[in-house]
Chains A and B, each alone.
Chain A
């Protein structure tokens, strides 16, 4: 066992871990941070993505001991404030607004990867978003609404989003207006 000191989502922890313990297992099993999930064994799916000292990492590729002395942010720590009054991160909000999730299992990793992507590139094109999140697999959405969400968040974070916070996905894309119009 090795002792580590790590700050996760704003709280400090001191724990003994086996050297082979992966960061994701430490988060889930020792800290109860079960918002971060495991989707594969080969670091392909990205479901376990967290921020380690501000950078997106797949927490299944990091040993817990490597996080010693580091700051970790998980999906549970990106909103500001607590409980029902918490303010969502713009990327979280955009995933909701743009229907960028269905079953939601990939979503924590997808959101963490997207936040990191926007830090690197605050105004990505569709193609750049697709390239930027290619390390994260989603089986439900076909990615199109995730791309919309990331671009919507980018616009909001840079202050160029449409004024209407309830802007329809149709505002950034084609299809939804026709759906609504067909039933009006």
Chain B
């Protein structure tokens, strides 16, 4: 017989769940009124300002450096060069030696004898005001002996190439290999290609991008005796604290790092910056608070860049479209140095090239290559957009080769929903999803059939404006990360996250999270989670973060990890609070703890209507601590650390309809529809916002953005005039939707969403452009799809060519295309 609960015992109806509500953000109140705490807003008594003299040459020896005149300028307190810090600056950290043999040349915060990229710090003026410091830079006298500049990766890896670092033996930092056959997760890749009925090979270029967060980086350091407080516009106050302590020798417990309001990051503020270390060293030397805030020009030139790979990808398949093998070889531009996770970014992508498809064999190889450019590092998606682009592009190329519909080819090879959990050829266990359902919904959102009909009409009438439709059926790994997995990849830290919950006497709740937001809305989402877990009002929850003195443990925000790892830590801490409160509630109710139920914030005794005590009342009772059980501590506060056992794997189908004016080369998105599965949605407004923002950046890679160096290694896109961050008028309306298949690796069932739009959208856009003009003989167009490139691809053949001078970018200048046309690089 089944026990049925007495319905009359449900005295209080549980409040409507907060998770799933489109709560407006708590963060907004200060942001829409200008009551913000950006680092650059900080003013401290006696604060001095830093200005940095930066190298105008990409590679050279400093032969003469005289700062004496600058020291005499009015209001200048000190001027420093690399020689002043050579003994104490150490090397900026690289936390990810992807192979045991990886060559790390070391990364000084300020150049001592040699400069290796334009923008490298050479001297620093410390003055009473920002303007006085900047003015005095003019008075510094410096000469360089130029060295050969290494810019093109394909040339840099050739024997006899000049070296970026003359104490190394080649420009290759590392050679990373993942072979599914060797790993036991797949068959023999070479055999698969030898046996294949069809193979398709392509060379794709992932251009260099700049994260271009809106708030320029800013650092303030205040010394106090032998202790230091650093405010920084960083994504990673916790990691920064550990790393800065290790680099400078300042004991970790004497260093507090605060990330106040931070204006975006996108991976660009996942870094230990030279200027953060220099501010610490100078504050230590002068015993005075110092501030450095970059200009936009400095930001674009010296903050780390993203992407920049040459991808050689081969796919093997049967005539019927069944895929048999995948082979990837990458050249990944490290730039001049290895920063925090520079070498790891392509390695993060290594496991995602197979995408959602059931490849039986897979081999991945990557060379990390030094060039005389600013280092690359994390940028929204970090490795996974590159992988998604390559696989989604080559699936279209394979479809063309086979004469199949691109969606039909995908359907034939993707993982079916009943096959989850599915272990891929790269060894990852995908958790859940339904690629068919997402695709069907996206087709409907787009109005696919009508657009295909219109495409046909335009094709038949030879309309100068052609229409194309492009797909990206993507997945990504996110929620970085299971610590053991990171360990197996030789990453220098774990991937857990920490949270604690403090129950205040008045019933209010403080939630401390180690995950540090910079626009994602943690304060709101975490409040929703805690409101549900503890049954307290949303308004009664305050979320604290971003200060190592308040949030003592944490691993910060990147890799779509906050909710799935940090949010789960909050859930675990809340569960502990409830269990601790249960013992006290039982004592107060004179009941057995096992007989208590906890719903809607209230403990009640099963079968005893009316009797009960709220968790907020328990908080007050235990604060007074006059009456509580013996043998327990008088507190219901709790903390938890969560280390996930697996990644989560959001997926989705993105479809772009693109108009191409064949006479002008102008490309315009006609319609963009996507359906993403990010598991449980805590706040639909925030999820939608994250998707929108990701789409904007992914579309921007496809259509607008590229960091370009000239033949001398100068960044020619060093301002917002030349680096085209899209404006509202450059982007379309997005039609977005969701399916919900919960993640299995965390109790929330949530998958990451921060990077999804950015990872998914780029290949959909390029595939759409090609679909519009493929009948004109175009087989590839290099990103970004500028009108010039599109026009040249249509009218001159090739992939549209390089915008920079020959040999100056990572991707070569002139090269022979498949059709045999030698294209001219302008």
Contact = CB atoms under 8 A, between A and B. Distances in A.
B737 to A, nearest CB: 5
Top 5 closest pairs, chain A to chain B, by CB: A35-B34, A104-B31, A103-B519, A105-B263, A179-B684
A107 B31 contact: yes
B681 A183 contact: yes
A102 interface: yes
A177 to B, nearest CB: 9
Interface string A122-164: 0000100111011111111111111100000000000000000
Interface string B692-712: 111111000000000000000
Given A75-B34, A138-B214, A142-B693, A183 B720 contact: no
Contact of B728 (A34, A88, A130, A174): A130
Contact of A40 (B27, B719, B727): B719
A45 interface: yes
Contacts of B27: 104
B297 A178 contact: no
A105 B215 contact: yes
B28 A41 contact: no
A16 interface: no
A182 interface: yes
B68 interface: no
A47 B214 CA distance: 8
Interface stretch (B17-25, B536-544, B775-783): B17-25
B380 to A, nearest CB: 10
A83 B27 CA distance: 16
Given A39-B296, A41-B297, A99 B689 contact: yes
Contacts of B41: 28, 34
Given A39-B296, A140-B519, A179 B738 contact: yes
A55 B103 CA distance: 56
A79 interface: yes
Most buried by B among A18, A39, A147: A39
B214 A137 contact: yes
A109 to B, nearest CB: 10
A180 B681 CA distance: 9
Given A40-B296, A139-B264, A182-B681, A108 B34 contact: yes
Interface in B644-677: none
A129 B28 CA distance: 22
Contacts of B215: 37, 39, 103, 105
A130 B684 contact: no
B727 A102 contact: no
A17 B692 CA distance: 42
A46 B715 CA distance: 23
A104 B728 contact: no
B28 A101 contact: yes
A92 B33 contact: yes
A175 B352 CA distance: 28
Contacts, number: 210
B45 to A, nearest CB: 14
A42 interface: yes
Most buried by A among B41, B728, B729: B728
Interface of B: 19-22, 24-25, 27-36, 38, 40-41, 43, 130-131, 212-216, 261-264, 266, 295-297, 518-521, 680-681, 684-689, 692-697, 719-721, 725, 727-731, 733-740, 757
B263 A44 contact: no
Nearest to B737: A178
20 contacts: A35-B34, A37-B40, A42-B719, A44-B721, A45-B214, A96-B28, A101-B28, A102-B520, A103-B518, A104-B27, A104-B32, A105-B38, A105-B214, A105-B215, A137-B214, A137-B727, A142-B693, A144-B731, A175-B735, A180-B21
A31 interface: no
Given A39-B215, A102-B264, A104-B28, 6 more contacts: A37-B36, A99-B25, A102-B693, A104-B27, A179-B684, A182-B739
A134 B28 contact: no
Contacts of A38: 40, 216
Contacts of A168: 22
A95 interface: yes
A29 B129 CA distance: 10
Nearest to A94: B32
Contacts of A59: none
B22 to A, nearest CB: 6
Contacts of A146: 728
B11 to A, nearest CB: 25
Contacts of A95: 28, 32
B25 A96 contact: yes
A106 interface: yes
A75 B30 CA distance: 11
B727 A134 contact: yes
A111 interface: yes
Most buried by B among A131, A146, A175: A175
A169 B214 contact: no
A35 B20 CA distance: 32
B692 A142 contact: yes
A131 B24 contact: no
Contacts of B719: 40-42, 44
A41 B214 contact: no
A74 B34 contact: yes
Nearest to A39: B214
Nearest to B730: A134
A180 B684 contact: yes
A135 B720 CA distance: 11
A56 to B, nearest CB: 15
A76 interface: yes
A175 B719 CA distance: 35
B543 to A, nearest CB: 16
Most buried by B among A35, A86, A146: A35
Contacts of B680: 183
A104 B36 contact: yes
Contacts of A37: 36, 38, 40, 215, 263
A103 to B, nearest CB: 3
B653 to A, nearest CB: 15
A180 B41 CA distance: 38
A116 interface: no
Given A130-B729, A178-B737, A182-B681, A103 B721 contact: no
B685 A176 contact: yes
Nearest to A34: B41
Most buried by B among A102, A131, A168: A102
B728 A133 contact: yes
Given A142-B695, A176-B22, A134 B266 contact: no
Contacts of A133: 727-728
A111 to B, nearest CB: 7
A176 B520 CA distance: 17
Nearest to B211: A139
B758 to A, nearest CB: 10
Nearest to A98: B685
A167 to B, nearest CB: 11
A99 B720 contact: no
Most buried by B among A44, A106, A126, A180: A44
B519 A97 contact: no
A76 B729 contact: no
A75 B32 CA distance: 8
Given A42-B720, A130-B729, A88 B688 contact: no
Contact of B32 (A40, A96, A126, A183): A96
B720 A137 contact: yes
Contacts of B520: 102
Contacts of B214: 39, 45, 47, 103, 105-106, 137-140
Contacts of A137: 214, 720, 725, 727
